[in-house]
Amino acid sequence: MNWEGKKVLVTGAGGFIGSHLVERLVKLEAQVRAFVRYNSRSDWGFIEDLPEDARNKVEISTGDLKDSGAVWNAVKDREVVFHLGALIAIPYSYMNPGDAVQTNVIGSLNVLSASREFGVEKLVHTSTSEVYGTALYVPIDEKHPLQAQSPYSASKIGADKLAESFHLTYGLPVATIRPFNTYGPRQSARAVIPTIITQALTGGKVKLGAVSPTRDFNYVGDTVAGFIRVAESPESTGEVINVGSGKEISIGDLADKIASLMDRDIEIISDTSRIRPEKSEVNRLLADNTKAKELIQWEPRVSLDEGLRKTIEWISEHINSYKVNIYNV
């Protein structure tokens, strides 16, 4: 696909992955429209952090995914749509499951409906490895059963199935990308890696929930490359594709690795408020990325150590942007 001049929409553009995707698309010379949630401060999230020359090339569209009119205005005249907009915090979904459903299910329905109405060439729908729940076997391929171990996971399963239904029912050219745990610069302290880094930077005590679960961490640049390849590949249409490193590490070992890279001594403290309900905890995630390698010729290029170093450097330079002394849900 030639991205030069391609009319693209990115929902969730102000978020962590979305802002990196927008930046990459601008470099590819696409005409990017960024859909960000409206607020009275005209705060565009991490779009604000883009270099000025890149930011000035982005068309900003504000609204709410739950508002079909706002979504339709954003999708109108776009050729490719990347749908990343979602409420992604699992602890928040425990407290407000209705909000997760409204945003992630109804919001996705609005994007799907508008994409069908306006005849987009390709819609890339964003899933999550959380839909798999605790691994029943590893590595986890795309045929692994879906297990809704949190309201967030359930809402994303619902959205994924809507995307599947729009492809099978209406022939909508949609592909579903299923990223495993993405990390990197700009990520909020809602996620575990920034949580560890920010606490290590500001003191020796690091509060965490369960430390035995394992995760498959993928650097944000590699995840963004996966989004681009899914959009470009005709073979991805109608498919679900895992994007992960194919390696796992426990949260406890991850904390030790980060402390070592930072050359700091830390004390890990178990914080019960951060521990998921027993049957909601996802104990193991490990991606089988064979399909991505074979179907869209994608594979990760950044090692965990290299990616962590880049992330530590960025967070160190932006530590004042984090509220370190609270539990970010």
Catalytic residue status for 152: yes
Q: Quote the CA–CA distance of 205 and 269 in Å, as a whole number.
A: 7
Work out whether the CA dihedral 183, 176, 14, 109 comes out positive or negative. Answer: negative
Partners of residue 208 on adjacent β-strands:
270
Question: Which residue in 38, 92, 94, 152 is the catalytic one?
Answer: 152
The angle at the Cα of 137, spanning 287 to 289, to the nearest 5 degrees, equals 20
Report whether 254 contacts 245 (CB < 8 A): no
Q: What is the DSSP string of 92-139?
A: HHHH-HHHHHIIIIIHHHHHHHHHHHHT-SEEEEE--GGGG-S-SSSS
Helix axes 251-262, 304-317, angle to 10 degrees: 60
Contacts 24+ apart (CB under 8 A), 200-205: 200/258, 200/259, 200/262, 200/264, 200/266, 201/262, 201/315, 201/316, 201/319, 201/324, 202/319, 202/324, 204/264, 204/265, 204/266, 204/267, 205/266, 205/267, 205/269
Residues with active-site annotation: 152
